Amino acid sequence: MKKHSYLKLYLYLSRYINNNKYICEVKKISKYLFLNYFLFNLIQIKLKDKLIINYLLFLFFLNINLKIEIISIQKEIAKMI
């Protein structure tokens, strides 16, 4: 199935076209799809940014946690000596 077939099926199922062959209200549909595509891209970019920030925060906190563990291990070794 080609890309345009998926689009036609989507439009048909969401009742933007009256049958699977002929599109009605093409202007309205193209505007709707353009706006949705734009919003989808914005959401995708924001999610990507959020994932990057979360990943960096995870590495930062993991690094802090490892440093705390190393310091506590060093203190325990110092007590043993």
Q: What CA–CA distance (Å, rounded) separates 74 from 6?
A: 61
The model's pTM: 0.40
Higher pLDDT, 37 or 9: 37
Tokens of 21: 């062959």
Task: Give the integer Cα–Cα distance in Å for 15 and 24.
Answer: 10
**Among 38, 35, 62, 42, CA closest to 50:** 42
Query: Comparing C-alpha atoms, which of 34, 38, 15 is closest to residue 25?
Result: 15
Higher pLDDT, 62 or 30: 62
Q: What is the pLDDT of residues 34-49, one digit of tens each?
A: 777 777 777 788 888 8
Assign 5 a pLDDT band (cuts: 50, 70, 90). Answer: low
Quickly tell me which residue has 């199922």 as its tokens.
Answer: 13
Average pLDDT over the chain reads 72
